[in-house]
Amino acid sequence: MANEEKQEDAAPSVVIPEERPYPKGFRCGYIAVVGRPNVGKSTLINYLVGEKVSITSHKPQTTRDRVLGVLTRDNAQFVFVDTPGFQSKYKGGLIHHMNNVVRGVLSEVDVVFFVIDAIGWKKADEEVLRLIPRESTVILVLNKTDELKNREALLPLMAESMQKFPFAAIIPTSAKKGKQCEELLEEAKKYLPEDAPYYDPDLYTDKSPRFLVAETVREKAFRLLGDELPYGIAVTIDKWDETDKSAEIIATLLVDNERHRPIVIGEKGAKLREISRLARADVEKMLGKPVHLEVWVRVRRGWSDDIRALKTLGYE
């Protein structure tokens, strides 16, 4: 800091151009993937972001708290968010409130992928569609095209679909085989704002060491705790100091609820120590050097509490 100040004093006329670690025209935004059960939403997200990507961010209280996965490409970052409680099966007093929650999420995202089976519309699809605000940018995904006997049937289905909603685009895909998924991303990219990446691109790719370490810690925690943690856990990497000879890493396990903290810590810290020990062994192998790995536990609060309340009432 002192050095920087000195430099500024010495050369006040030099304008240092703003450095951007991302290219001009980079786009970044949120995408919600919705549709009735079983149409292939999870398969699609998994294909797009990679099997193992499932993270939760620090930022509470917004859509950002519901991040399922982040895909970072050279020119864009796609942030896929969960839309909890999105269903239309139940009727009752709470449905109104729940639908408002859903609409709130959908109005925060930049693009909605609305997924149906390429065989055609079902009543349940239409019910879900009714919950989507008409002003949302919605791309209709006709999934499972690999199961179609007659691909020509897609054309009338597209025409029929446009009668139901002003879709921004219609893309037939096979999430299972990864067909047309690139086209889907290209289409979605058009609707993302020009913005810097919201998530550290180094961390949220499927290759970076930071990401792999976070996944290792998560995997060990998951293995040791399993069903004891009903809503799962997320991991953030808070410190990463690496030299040629060693690495010092601090990771935090985020739990949803104060009650889960002692479960993760275990008696006299035994569980947490075991998680650290197992993860460290893997990370040392991965980095090929001694590693000091500290794992902390923190309670993350978010608006998911609302959703949880609904869940316990049987609304999901």
Where on the chain is the footprint of ligand GTP (CB under 6 A)? 35, 37-43, 143-144, 146-147, 174-176
Which residue is nearest to ligand GTP, using beta carbons? Answer: 40
CB of 115 to ligand GTP, least distance (A): 7
CB of 67 to ligand GTP, least distance (A): 16
Q: Residues comprising the binding site?
A: 35-42, 82-86, 143-146
CB of 118 to ligand GTP, least distance (A): 8
The tokens describing 67, both together, are 């991040």
**How far, in Å, are 238, 277, 289, 297 from residue 273 at the CA level?**
18, 6, 20, 11
CB of 86 to ligand GTP, least distance (A): 9
Task: Give 7 or 38: the residue with its C-beta nearer to ligand GTP.
Answer: 38
- Alpha carbon distance 25, 75 (integer Å): 7
Query: In terms of Cα–Cα distance, which of 188, 279, 230, 218 is closest to 55?
Result: 218
Task: Give 124 or 287: the residue with its C-beta nearer to ligand GTP.
Answer: 124
Alpha helices in the chain (DSSP H): 2-10, 41-49, 93-108, 123-130, 154-164, 181-189, 209-225, 260-265, 270-287, 304-312
CB of 179 to ligand GTP, least distance (A): 8
Give the phi and the psi of residue 241 in degrees, each rounded to 5. -115, 115
Task: Give 63 or 143: the residue with its C-beta nearer to ligand GTP.
Answer: 143
Task: Give 146 or 182: the residue with its C-beta nearer to ligand GTP.
Answer: 146
CB of 125 to ligand GTP, least distance (A): 11
Query: In terms of Cα–Cα distance, which of 180, 257, 235 is closest to 67?
Result: 235
- Alpha carbon distance 13, 212 (integer Å): 44
Task: Give 172 or 201: the residue with its C-beta nearer to ligand GTP.
Answer: 172
Task: Give 111 or 293: the residue with its C-beta nearer to ligand GTP.
Answer: 111
The tokens describing 13, both together, are 């006329």
* 3-state SS assignment for residue 250: strand
- Alpha carbon distance 11, 8 (integer Å): 5
* Residue with tokens 């997320």, as numbered in its chain: 234
* Residue with tokens 């499972």, as numbered in its chain: 144
Q: Residues comprising the binding site for GTP?
A: 35-42, 82-86, 143-146
- Alpha carbon distance 55, 203 (integer Å): 10
CB of 98 to ligand GTP, least distance (A): 16
Task: Give 56 or 87: the residue with its C-beta nearer to ligand GTP.
Answer: 87
CA atoms within 13 A on the CB side of 275: 31
